[in-house]
Amino acid sequence: MSPQAAYDWLHQELSKILVAPESMPRASGPPELHELQTEQANPVTQDMDTLSTLEMCRLINAEDRRVAAAVEAITPTISQVIDDIVDRMSQGAGRLLYMGAGTSGRLGVLDLADIPTSFNVDPMRYIALTAGGDVTLRTAQPSVEDSRAAGAADLGSLLPTPQDTLIGISASGRTPYVLGALHSARVHGLLTVGIVCTRPSALLLEGECDYVLDPLVGPEVIAGSSRMKAGTATKMILNMISTAVQVKLGQTYGNLMVDVHPSNLKSTARARGIIRSMAASRAEAYSDDELDGVIARCGGSVKLAVVVVVSGWGVPLCVDALERRGGSLRSVLEDVRYETVVRVFV
């Protein structure tokens, strides 16, 4: 039997006799640290220090395959979270806020950092905070997560309103900084969402969250190293939420970033490519410089430039068309293709 076949057999047999996290009885109160699923020793990896490098890589990869299934199991709840966020943000004032500590905080910053440039949206509506401030993005400072008051104060500094959404990120579900922020958010009437990779959790039992997203990834490859499977699950969920929110807010056309801000060589080339792919034969007449000129006349808006090139209308008329359609490029292009724009403006 090959090492990989032996591993697969062992993994299958252990799964039959181990208690699945979702079937474990709920505790009467918040679990202690040593009781968390992410803190348990993973029997599948207990001898990993005796493996070859290739076997070790395959072992870690096999454990990572559990993550997608754990996230898939909670997608119905994730979809509800997305719809509620969109309801708030579509009104024009709502913000999407992430707060976490350590790896959880860094993942929040990572997810939101590119949203403003990828979708040309106001960066002040997408804010991620990490316990201890930006210095902890590079250097771990574990003690900064231990204050509920600090979490509440950091949220308070953003002057939260009921139109905002706070996603508190804590793999263990017991981080004081996150719990304090969620309690304060609840008091201020925000939509509150918790991301945690264990069940039950203090985050769930304290009842401060409208939604709890708790993918059960099981014990980590290295006991307690929640930067691994729990971190991967967290990143998948945050990517899913932030991406779907932008799509539902009309910031894409299909899977194209039609609101990308052409701020460097790569994004400028991407903007030209989007226009050419959507304008087809009309765009063939434009050189790169000419397309750049159209984008410039449109104030850097690729979406507006697409309408200008496809329709042949002037910029003011295209602006009006987009405004009347709530920024939906698909709706405007349908008007253009079926020559119904006159009826839209009546």
64-90: pLDDT as tens digits = 999 999 999 999 999 999 999 999 999
Checking if the pLDDT of 203 tops 50, the result is yes
In sequence order, what are the residues at sequence separation of 6 or more whose Cβ sits closer than 8 angstroms to the Cβ of residue 150? 131, 144, 177, 180
- The 10s digit of each residue's pLDDT in 247-271 is 999 899 999 999 998 889 999 999 9
Q: What pTM does this model have? A: 0.84
Provide the pLDDT confidence category of residue 338 given band limits of 50, 70 and 90: low
Q: In the predicted model, what is the mean pLDDT of the chain?
A: 87
Diameter over CA atoms, the chain: 75
pLDDT band of 17, cuts 50, 70, 90: very low
Dihedral angle, C-alpha 227, 233, 239, 240, nearest 10 °: -170
For 113-161, how does the pLDDT look when each residue is reduced to its tens digit (9 = 90+)?
Answer: 999 989 989 999 999 999 988 888 888 777 788 899 999 999 999 999 9
pLDDT, position 98: 98
Q: Is the model's pLDDT at 343 over the cut of 60?
A: no
**Would strands 96-100 and 165-169 be described as parallel, antiparallel, or unpaired?**
parallel
Name every residue whose Cβ is closer than 8 Å to that of residue 95 and which is 6 or more positions away in sequence. 89, 124, 125, 126, 127, 158, 163, 164, 165
Window from 17-31, 146-160, 192-206, 271-285 with minimum mean pLDDT: 17-31
The DSSP annotation for 95-136 comes to: -EEEEE-HHHHHHHHHHHHTHHHHHT--GGGEEEEETT-GGG
Strands 191-195 and 211-213, by their bridges, are: parallel
- Straight-line distance from the first to the last Cα atom of the chain, in angstroms, rounded to the nearest whole number: 75
Q: Map out the domains of the chain with their CATH numbers.
A: 1-249 (3.40.50.10490), 265-345 (1.10.8.1080)
